[in-house]
Amino acid sequence: MTRLRLPRVLITTLALLASPLALAFDLHDLQQQLSKPAVVKGPFVQEKHLRALPQPLTSKGEFVLARDHGLLWLLQTPLRQDYRIDAQGIARRDANGWQTLPSRSAGAEQNRLFFAVLQGDSTGLQRDFDLALSGDADHWQLRLTPRSMLLKQVFTQIDISGAAYVQRIELQETQGDSTVLRMPDSHGEAALTDAERADFAD
């Protein structure tokens, strides 16, 4: 009796299809992946697309995300302005040092959202959004759809994509404006510099 020989590629494909749960890349995996490095830093480019303007408003800078401390958001152009986001709230640096900002301002809410996204804080994000994740560890996309009435008045959806780190965030606003944040050259570090540690300690 002749035995039916299946090509090895077909056998492998069938095995993969038979065990989708073992291969699925889920929100827990994403959170573990993004929170693995103690420190993530790199340049960012932020474009604000306004319906009333033909060209986007572009700002550039550097960010430092420290797993155990918070986020430093250091704008360099078109003006220099430093922000810090941590468990105590959001602060802006001026000539007298770090000054706490009102917690309910629009800018504060957006910076807080960036912090949660960069951390991969799916538990925190799920309080306010429905999350839909696709792709794998090397190329994933996450869509956030606002759940609360307050956020529905501001955003229609937020799309995030990346690999080992978050690389792109796009916020679509209900009024037709949008913000695109690109961080293509992020990298991990084992520890903060002395200057960065001092910024978080102030």
Per-residue model confidence as pLDDT tens digits over 16-59: 444 444 457 898 898 889 888 899 999 999 999 999 899 999 99
Domain count, the chain: 1
Task: Render pLDDT for 132-157 as a digit per residue (tens, 0 to 9).
Answer: 999 999 999 999 999 888 888 888 99
Kindly state whether residue 4 falls inside one of the protein's structural domains: no
CA 100/CA 181 separation, integer angstroms:
24
Averaged pLDDT for residues 104-113: 62
Kindly state whether residue 105 falls inside one of the protein's structural domains: yes
The pTM assigned to this predicted structure is 0.80
In this prediction, residue 126 has a pLDDT band, given cuts at 50, 70 and 90, of: confident
Asked whether the bond before 43 is cis by omega within 30 degrees of 0, the reply is no
The pLDDT of residue 148 = 82
Give the residue numbers spanning the domain of 192.
37-201
In this prediction, residue 86 has a pLDDT band, given cuts at 50, 70 and 90, of: confident
With vertex at residue 200, the alpha carbon angle to CA 196 and CA 202, rounded to the nearest 5 degrees, is 115
Ramachandran region, residue 128 (left: φ > 0; alpha: ψ -120 to 50; beta: rest): alpha
- Tell me: pLDDT of 110 over 70: no
To the nearest whole number, what is the mean pLDDT of the chain? 83
CA 127/CA 121 separation, integer angstroms:
11
Kindly state whether residue 151 falls inside one of the protein's structural domains: yes
Kindly state whether residue 57 falls inside one of the protein's structural domains: yes
The pLDDT of residue 109 = 64
Kindly state whether residue 92 falls inside one of the protein's structural domains: yes
CA 142/CA 132 separation, integer angstroms:
6
Kindly state whether residue 14 falls inside one of the protein's structural domains: no
Three-state DSSP string of the chain = CCCCCCCHHHHHHHHHHHCHHHHCCCHHHHHHHHCCCCEEEEEEEEEEECCCCCCCEEEEEEEEEECCCEEEEEEEECCCEEEEEECCEEEEEECCEEEECCCCCHHHHHHHHHHHHHHCCHHHHHCCEEEEEEEECCEEEEEEEECCHHHHCCEEEEEEEECCCEEEEEEEECCCCEEEEECCCCEEECCCCHHHHHHHHC
Distance (Å) of CA 83 to CA 32, 63, 93: 26, 10, 6
Q: CATH code at 91?
A: 2.50.20.10
User: Helix 106-119 vs helix 27-34: angle between axes, to the nearest 10 degrees?
Assistant: 100
Kindly state whether residue 188 falls inside one of the protein's structural domains: yes
Task: Render pLDDT for 157-184 as a digit per residue (tens, 0 to 9).
Answer: 999 999 999 999 999 998 899 999 999 8
Q: What residue has token string 């925190």?
A: 124
Kindly state whether residue 191 falls inside one of the protein's structural domains: yes
